[in-house]
Amino acid sequence: MGNTKEAIGMSSSVEWRIQVDDGSKEILVPESKNGFQRFLAALKGLIVNFTLKICNFFKKAWKIGVDDPRKVAHCLRVGVALCVVSLFYYMRPLYEGVGGNAIWAVMTVVVVFEYTVGATLYKSLNRICATGLAGFLAIGIHWVASQSGTKIEPFILGASVFLLASAATFSKFIPVVKARFDYGVTIFILTFSLVSVSGYRVEKLIDMAHQRLATIIIGTALCMVVAMVVYPIWAGEELHFLIIRNMDKVSDSLDCCVAVYFKADEANPNSDEACSKNLEAYKSALNSKGSEDAMANFARWEPAHGLFSFNHPWKQYLKVSSALRNCAYCIEALNSCLYAENNSNSCDIIKELALTIKTMTRSSTIDMSVIKLNDSVQLLHENLKSLSTLLIPEEGPQNTTDENEHKEPVLTVSLIEVIPLVSFASLLIDIAGRVEGLVQAVEGLAKLADFKPAAEEKPGLKSVN
């Protein structure tokens, strides 16, 4: 453990010196300099390095802004909304109108204003409803508690907070609640605790609850209006175009895949470059499930806009994208046909790798298993070869020894019958290649996490669940 850390520390300091040299080439560091000069040079290097990093950061940020100006627009909208809500502080009549509780309106704007209209509406409506409901409940329970004497009062209040907070937290684990009311539940717990607990000290509880609700409604209303009027970004539209883009990408990938496969022998470097970019395009369809789910969730809070009615079937978009991902999986398989690294016992190896991670020990047998895997791939190859000799008895390129087999009626096996077997076998061979990738990843983990070698007595390939 200690050794590893030291080694990492050493290598990073070496790397750091190289970067210093890289960043400030004008300084030639002499061998015979004193400690203070060394310190100065190092300091200068650090500063240059830091400045370079800051510059890179700003370059990246600038690129994000140029690539999608709507993101910049969103930031300006947030600034505008905050300034407008600040007016409640700066103008005396407004300030006194909400009884000095303008702070809640500012808070609401900061927390509720999101990138898309749908997300803003989701949070706004959740916040209003949850605040209203929780305030109502808390005042009711406070009234009951205040009727039962000052000694029991804190216990009733404490028990109600405990029970309701636990129950509400639990409800977040229910998928439907999580998807639609996650934020609302948090706000419910928050408001209930605040009103219920501060009811013990604050005299005018109803006034406070009422003002809190009023300021929250002001804040959310402002957010909803700004989100929908100033340069609106609709979650539904985003989802719509994301799925269209992904479909185009999958289609381009498939196109390229076929083109590359049939032109593999012709050398055409120009089209190849464009193609290799397109070949990877389908991956964006594989990776966008999370954002699609979120957008479909937000889209249903949005009113009718543009081409989309209020009841637009956003759920169906998820089915479309799921079907599209199904296609993309297959392109994944096709792609691996293109870059076939032909090298199966695959499932045993995966089990053993799981065991390696579970016990956090380096398996001593994994190398043997990989050799076995390669052997069985070899066997599979041999089998396919012998199958091919069965199909072509004369003029076959192989010199087979068992000549008597060639005379058997197996000759009537047609290629069309063995196609499923052949493609299955080649996919098995392909999986073996991927398993080797998995082996490498796990070995990288074992190295970085400093797994101990396994004890001599091998624990066997029992289930690791």
Sites for a copy of itself among residues 235-264 (CB under 8 A): 240, 243-245, 247-248, 250-252, 254-255, 258, 261
Residue closer to a copy of itself (CB basis): 280 or 332: 332
Residues 6 or more apart from 2 whose CB is under 8 A from it? none
Note whether 357 binds a copy of itself by CB under 8 A.
Answer: yes
Residues 417-456 that bind a copy of itself (CB under 8 A): 419-420, 422-428, 430-431, 434-435, 437-438, 440-442, 444-445, 448-450
**452: part of which helix (H) or strand (E)?**
strand 452-453
- Residue 131 in tokens: 């605040």
Note whether 12 binds a copy of itself by CB under 8 A.
Answer: no
Residues 129-188 that bind a copy of itself (CB under 8 A): 154, 157-158, 161-163, 165-167, 169-171, 173-174, 186
Residue closer to a copy of itself (CB basis): 206 or 258: 258
Nearest alpha carbon to residue 240 among 296, 309, 297, 311: 296
Residue closer to a copy of itself (CB basis): 186 or 365: 186
SS (H, E, C) 358-419: HHCEECCCHHHHHHHHHHHHHHHHHHHHHHHHHHCCCCCCCCCCCHHHHHCHHHHCCHHHHH
Residue closer to a copy of itself (CB basis): 43 or 91: 91
Residue closer to a copy of itself (CB basis): 121 or 431: 431
**9: part of which helix (H) or strand (E)?**
helix 2-23
- Residue 373 in tokens: 């895997």
CA-CA distance, 16 to 22, in Å (whole number)?
Answer: 10
Note whether 380 binds a copy of itself by CB under 8 A.
Answer: no
Note whether 387 binds a copy of itself by CB under 8 A.
Answer: yes
Residues 198-227 that bind a copy of itself (CB under 8 A): 198, 200-201
Give the residue, chosen from 44, 305, 372, 385, that forms a contact with a copy of itself under the rule CB under 8 A: 385
Residues 391-410 that bind a copy of itself (CB under 8 A): 391-392, 394-398
Residues 286-345 that bind a copy of itself (CB under 8 A): 286-287, 289-290, 307-309, 311-313, 316-317, 319-320, 322-324, 326-327, 329-334, 336-337, 340
Residues 6 or more apart from 350 whose CB is under 8 A from it? 435, 438
DSSP 449: T
Region of 21-29, 79-87, 132-140, 215-223 interacting with a copy of itself (CB under 8 A): 79-87
Most distant pair of Cα atoms in the chain: their distance: 106
- Residue 379 in tokens: 């066997």
CA-CA distance, 316 to 321, in Å (whole number)?
Answer: 9
